[in-house]
Structure 1
Amino acid sequence: MALIGKIKEKSGWAIGLIAISLGLFVVGGDILGPNSVILGNNSQDVGEIAGEDISIKEYSQELEVMKYNYTNNTGKNPTEEEMAGLREQAWNQLIEKIAYQKQYEKLGLAVSDDELEDMVQGDNVHPAVKQAFTNPATNQFDKSLVINYLKGIDTLPAQQQAAWINFENQLGPQRLRTKYENLLSLSSYVTKEEAKRDYVSQTAKADVKFLYVPFFSIPDSTIKVTDAQLEDYLNRNRDKYEGEETRTIEYVTFPVLPSAQDSAFFYDEIKNLAKGLASAQDDSTFAKTNTDVPADGGYVTLSEIPQQLQGDIATFIEGGMYGPYREGDTYSIYKLSDIKDDTVYSVRASHILFRADSTDAGKAEALKKAREVLQQIKGGASFEEMARVHGTDGTAQQGGDLGWYTQGGGFVKSFENALFSFNGIGLLPNPVETEFGYHLIKVTQPKTNRKYKLATIKKVISAGDATEEEAFRKADQFAGTTENREQFRENLKKDKTLTSFTAEKLRPNDNNVNALQNAREIVRWAFSEDTKVGDVSKEVFRLDNQYVVATLTGKTEKGDATVEDFRTELTSKVRNELKAEQITKKLANVTNIDAAAKAYGDQAQVNTATDVTLSSNTLQNVGFDPVAVGKIFGLKQGQRTKPFSGENGVLVIEMTKYTAAPDIADYSQYKNQLAQTYKSRTSYYVNEAVKDFAKIEDKRYKFY
């Protein structure tokens, strides 16, 4: 509030400070979980940043500020999924306050009160302030509006006061971060030689001929990779692999699915609601009060009528009741409240599309075929069968049925004009041309301008208490009779209705486990210090519509990488190395690319590429391969490489033509481009460097 006080003082107003206490709310599930301090966890730290221990209290205070701001801005409490994002924001805020602040202090960076005032009503006003205090008459920022707002801020609602305080509190840290990044960006300098090299990499061009044997030409099943080979590859590439803390679990789910009894209960309920809806004077209000799935309730065209009702259109009468219908786990009933005529027409039709390319010959061939099929239909052939045989779009297997269609609904103009100019039902006499080809069209329901108002009630079938209890009983029995991983597997074999799933490389702050949403409790259990490999969760986890029992099958710790940490990736790398050895051996002593390809076999491809530049990093018909492109520009015209392993296969490249970049006097354009590129990356690189230097340890998973 220092900024407000200073502005008011300079404005001649003596107005007291606004005090808002955000406090620490420690009564939520985040703190009272099984791993919490209150329930006995020995450690009170959620991590370490730049040598400072971060206590659960300090982190919770930061998180409560984030939650308060979220609720204040949105008017609602965050969901569990949104809380995961807020926890990340709170953690990053602590990194900013601690790790960055240490860097600011070393450099003597600070933000004065005068600077803060300047950001609100000075010469360097913050963009958010400019936007909020724009004079509507001039469409320009007006300082007087800011001053008047702050003079009367203590009369505003508490929410607005808190919002301003939050904004003011962010101004200083934002300016400090900007100063720091600007300072570091000034340390970046582009020399003339760098600019020249960039110019040459974009301008010099090469034409090449090359032989390419992709790795996939050798089946993976024919290459056997040993653990010793994986270990050797890892040792040769330690700088590319960093070990991390992960867990692997196997789990079984016990779905809470509605039973036949549950379905019967909801069927009886929807039938009773149908009686109430039929006699209701205000059917719209009755429907809105009793439905599980809100509906628009306005007038709809035939094309917008729910699919379930399509078969009953012929019986539509005002006040009529339709249903119950079942779709998935939902029962639906409808009351036709009103019918009226509109200016827009709907029609139901089917079509057969004969696709044509853009050439005259292609169009002529498609039209000829369309006319032949049209004559067969006029002669008595089934339109639907002809559509299944000759149709070339997604409607073919439905006999060409397009369903109900309303004018202006998205068909191309020529198709729509032909469709709505036809009266009655039946086959249009001639093929209709569109940008896609030629269409045979059959109107199956005549055009109408009727619109219908429906009162809709939908009831979602959910599991009853008995179903819920039975699912929990099975899950609890499974957990209670399973002591370890071996018993987990044995019990799975005994119950053929159960299926297990594996979740690999879970990370400490993951919120989901495969397709299981909001599964933090499972992740926290897996990372608990008390959970050992082979343990089975004695707690049955409840997630949405299912119970889960898990066993810990693997774990890795932060530090030196092991083969198990990256087995899948390492296996792919080693397999490609072994394939490259095989291919290279067969291509030894290449003296002619065409002859070598012929001798190798069908898997060897001979291609050419023109105007290749060093900056492109790609090669036509090969893809991204900076190694291959680099080797090209190490050749002289007429030279050829030996067989070498690229990103996706083995290549032999021959330079057929080289066009050097012409000398230019001024490289400033390329110098400016490079400088801009370096500047745009500053924020990311600075952030990564600060976090790396701070040696951050994140142990929030013990509490959240």
Structure 2
Amino acid sequence: MGLMTFLRNRAGYILIGAIGFAIVAFLVGDAIQAGKPFWAESQKVVGSIDGQDINIDEFSGKVEQSLAQYKQQYGGAGNSQMQAMAVDNVWQGEIANVLLGKEYNRLGLTVSSDELNDLIQGNNPSPLIVQYFGNPQTGQVDRAQVIRTFKDGYKDPRVAPQLKSLEVEIEKQALQQKYAKLVNNSVYVTTLEANDEYINRNKLANFKYVTLPYSSVKDASVKLTESDYSDYYNANKKRFENPTETRTFEYVSFSVNPTAADSTAVKTQVDKLAADFRTSANDSLFAANNSDVKVPYTYITKGKLDPAVDSVVFNLPAGSFYGPKFSGNSYKIVKVINTRFSPDSVKASHILIDPSKLGGVDKAKKLADSLKGLIQKGASFATLAQQYSVDGSKDKGGELGTFTRGQMVAEFENAAFDGSVGDLKVVQSQFGVHLIKIEKQIGSSKVAKLAYIEKSLSSSNKTKDAAYKKASAFLNEAKSGNFAELAQKKGYTVGVADKITPTQGFAPGLDNPRQLIRDAYSADKGDILDEVYSMDNGFVVARVTDVKPEGTLPLEAVKKDIEPMVRTAVKAKMLKEKLDNALKGAVSIDQVAQKVGQVAAPVTNMVFANPIIPGLAQENKLVGAVFGSQPGKLSKAVDGESGVFAFVIDGFTNPAPLANTYKQKEAMMQVSGQRSLGSAFQALKDKSKIKDNRVKFY
């Protein structure tokens, strides 16, 4: 296993400037500046950040590293969404690197060589050192191990680049922390602000209100004018800032789900496979050659298989045959080779010998046998591990701790779980020759050795060809006609993917849409895309229906979207007029309620900081008006989220004076400090020119 294995197992992939730091992740957030025109940029430039070009060759390498980490974290071979996450992750890191790097230089922030050395080898190591080299149980770092790893690692050309990358990230994290402290220290909360916050969270209001809900006016009775639209648009212009260009497209999907004929054909194939499996001479080889899903030919514990199979198989004796059983979307066939009880976990130590350093496997095994003999005669396993092992565990006398099934390679696992406490076993694995000492075995559960075959129910080529032909025919017809009308005429369902961003890795109803999205960004509004797109579950034909550019969107671009809000605003005018008329001459809220045919509802113990009206919704304007009014005085009509309101305050209950202003300030400064980091970074982005050409490459 050695140094390379240690780094791989403990550190994973060290991503260069893209991920791993909570500060940058917090600062960057989800908002990313994007720009056009894409076609005007260099073929090698994936984007430009404040005048600094990002080269696609370097960028793609980081994306591969990020994607590899996502695969390691989430499992699987990766998909379009995972790829989009990796691309976005690296792009956000590039923005942070460039903009924050310039800030560090401007402010004179540096990390000296002594500081860096202390962060790697000192008593207060970097969080990254703790993450990669710390004991998972205690979090303690073995400084001697760190020093040795860096000293030996820089001599190994395979390891040196990883260690250098780790140093770069440690330095970068230290700079980020310095910058964060600088920003946090600029935050100040006054005594007046502390008292206001305390009162807002503790002052209580009791009031009665009458509401005329917007739902009391039928939508059909509201006739909207151009003036209504423009009034709403002008009053809410900030809401129509589009941070990045988006595309909307409609599409028709042609399914390739298995037909009845496909199901019958697969069932026939599976039945023949089961018959051959029953009489096979080599169960493990037969299963490996015929299964779509590979289950290791070793002992496994209950709960690893499909529940429909797992619950049955573990109750069967050795020699049993089960299946074919259809569950999920596949047939399962199982031979129970053997069952027995086995430890749940094992504690073991080992000495790893590298055959390449001794002239071959035979010599490595001879050395392992010699060491085994010495230990049996009373020699110290730990001492011999420190002297002969090439694994990172040698500094702990070869101790590997406690592990369960599935954590070690098969040869190592079988020896550890099949032996007895105190046994010394010599086995060979992909890492070399191991001398294993079984220290302890914990628990006991039934395990089964299975020969397992799983065959998926998939569509035939005939079914796929038929779906593709239908999609191609529709594409050719749609080019000379109306896309939506043609789909309706043929009985096809039209899906809509609304406001898709250039780098988005998903779209509603589509499982692999990246190429479609990229092509949509090379098309204009109204264009039918030239290609029939292959998805995991079918073929797709699409048409771009809308293009929303970056910046403030014009009224015409948002008119359809804001129609419900405009209608509500018109209803609010109508209901405010009605309620204001009822308020004229009224002396009590109950009298107002009677005039409009409603009942005055009481609210008790309302606080300004939690403006949720029981039984309604969050009503910020109403609650704000309540806390800005005098008791006993009828209000004017207030248009809220769910309707128009009138109210009267019964009274306020003021809290006791704030006893500890310092503590209140401290809590507020902590919250404000966190927000200030995001605000500072957003200010840097707002001042910078950022061009995003990722859609050209991904």
- Decide: shared fold, TM above 0.5: yes
* Aligned-pair CA distance for 1:642: 1.4
Q: Contact between 1:299 and 1:454, CA under 8 Å: does it hold in 2? A: no
* Aligned-pair CA distance for 1:270: 0.9
Q: Aligned equivalents of 1:490 and 1:569: distance in 2?
A: 22
Q: Which residue of 1 aligns with 2:469?
A: 473
Q: Which residue of 2 aligns with 1:693?
A: 687
Q: Contact between 2:506 and 2:514, CA under 8 Å: does it hold in 1? A: yes
Q: Aligned equivalents of 1:693 and 1:493: distance in 2?
A: 49
Q: Which residue of 2 aligns with 1:266?
A: 266
Q: Contact between 2:249 and 2:496, CA under 8 Å: does it hold in 1? A: yes
Correspondence list, 1:340-419, <5 A? none
Q: Contact between 1:563 and 1:570, CA under 8 Å: does it hold in 2? A: no
* Aligned-pair CA distance for 1:237: 1.8
CA gap of 1:662–1:542, structure 2 versus 1, over 3 A, is same
Say which of 573, 580, 600 aligns to 2:596: 600
1:466-517: CA deviation from partner (whole Å, max 9, x where unpaired): 2222222222232234325x34345435533x32222221111111221202
Q: Contact between 1:71 and 1:78, CA under 8 Å: does it hold in 2? A: yes
1:545-602: CA deviation from partner (whole Å, max 9, x where unpaired): 311111112212112212354445522322221222222222223223223323323x
- 1:547 maps to a residue whose letter is F
* Aligned-pair CA distance for 1:527: 0.8
Q: Determine if the alignment matches structure 1 residue 654 to structure 2 residue 648.
A: yes
- 1:235 maps to a residue whose letter is N
1:389-409: CA deviation from partner (whole Å, max 9, x where unpaired): xxxxxxxxxxxxxxxxxxxxx
Q: Contact between 2:81 and 2:506, CA under 8 Å: does it hold in 1? A: no
Correspondence list, 1:498-517, <5 A? 498-517=492-511
* Aligned-pair CA distance for 1:675: 0.9
Q: Which residue of 2 aligns with 1:539?
A: 531
Q: Contact between 1:480 and 1:538, CA under 8 Å: does it hold in 2? A: no
Q: Aligned equivalents of 1:317 and 1:182: distance in 2?
A: 65
Q: Contact between 1:288 and 1:294, CA under 8 Å: does it hold in 2? A: yes
Q: Aligned equivalents of 1:679 and 1:308: distance in 2?
A: 52
Q: Aligned equivalents of 1:537 and 1:687: distance in 2?
A: 38
Q: Determine if the alignment matches structure 1 residue 570 to structure 2 residue 562.
A: yes
Q: Which residue of 2 aligns with 1:181?
A: 180
CA gap of 1:152–1:652, structure 2 versus 1, over 3 A, is same
CA gap of 1:146–1:611, structure 2 versus 1, over 3 A, is same
CA gap of 1:144–1:308, structure 2 versus 1, over 3 A, is closer
Q: Which residue of 2 aligns with 1:668?
A: 662
* Aligned-pair CA distance for 1:644: 0.8
CA gap of 1:306–1:106, structure 2 versus 1, over 3 A, is closer
Say which of 624, 631, 647 aligns to 1:630: 624
What's the TM-score once normalised by structure 1's chain length? 0.69
User: Secondary structure in 2 aligned to 1:152?
Assistant: helix
* Aligned-pair CA distance for 1:140: 4.5
* Aligned-pair CA distance for 1:41: 8.9
Q: Contact between 2:66 and 2:86, CA under 8 Å: does it hold in 1? A: yes
Q: Which residue of 2 aligns with 1:52?
A: 52
CA gap of 1:335–1:595, structure 2 versus 1, over 3 A, is farther
Q: Which residue of 1 aligns with 2:189?
A: 190
Q: Aligned equivalents of 2:100 and 2:40: distance in 1?
A: 33
Q: Aligned equivalents of 2:96 and 2:543: distance in 1?
A: 38
* Aligned-pair CA distance for 1:46: 3.0
Identity of aligned residues (%): 31
CA gap of 1:90–1:190, structure 2 versus 1, over 3 A, is same
What's the TM-score once normalised by structure 2's chain length? 0.69
Q: Aligned equivalents of 2:272 and 2:334: distance in 1?
A: 13
- 1:502 maps to a residue whose letter is V
Q: Contact between 1:70 and 1:77, CA under 8 Å: does it hold in 2? A: no
Q: Contact between 2:249 and 2:542, CA under 8 Å: does it hold in 1? A: yes
- 2:663 maps to a residue whose letter is Q
Gap regions ≥5 residues in structure 2: 1-13, 17-38, 342-445
CA gap of 1:513–1:605, structure 2 versus 1, over 3 A, is farther
Say which of 530, 536, 541 aligns to 1:549: 541
Q: Which residue of 2 aligns with 1:492?
A: 487
- 1:306 maps to a residue whose letter is A
User: Secondary structure in 2 aligned to 1:539?
Assistant: coil
Q: Determine if the alignment matches structure 1 residue 167 to structure 2 residue 166.
A: yes
* Aligned-pair CA distance for 1:242: 0.3
Q: Which residue of 1 aligns with 2:308?
A: 306
- 1:471 maps to a residue whose letter is A
Q: Aligned equivalents of 2:559 and 2:223: distance in 1?
A: 14
Q: Contact between 2:83 and 2:505, CA under 8 Å: does it hold in 1? A: no
- 1:177 maps to a residue whose letter is Q
CA gap of 1:237–1:289, structure 2 versus 1, over 3 A, is same
Gap regions ≥5 residues in structure 1: 1-19, 23-38, 311-315, 342-449
How many residue pairs are counted as aligned between the two chains? 550
Q: Aligned equivalents of 2:336 and 2:567: distance in 1?
A: 66
Q: Contact between 1:331 and 1:461, CA under 8 Å: does it hold in 2? A: yes
More deviation, 259-268/86-95: 259-268
Q: Aligned equivalents of 2:93 and 2:576: distance in 1?
A: 53
Q: Aligned equivalents of 2:464 and 2:137: distance in 1?
A: 63
Q: Which residue of 1 aligns with 2:633?
A: 639
User: Secondary structure in 2 aligned to 1:210?
Assistant: strand
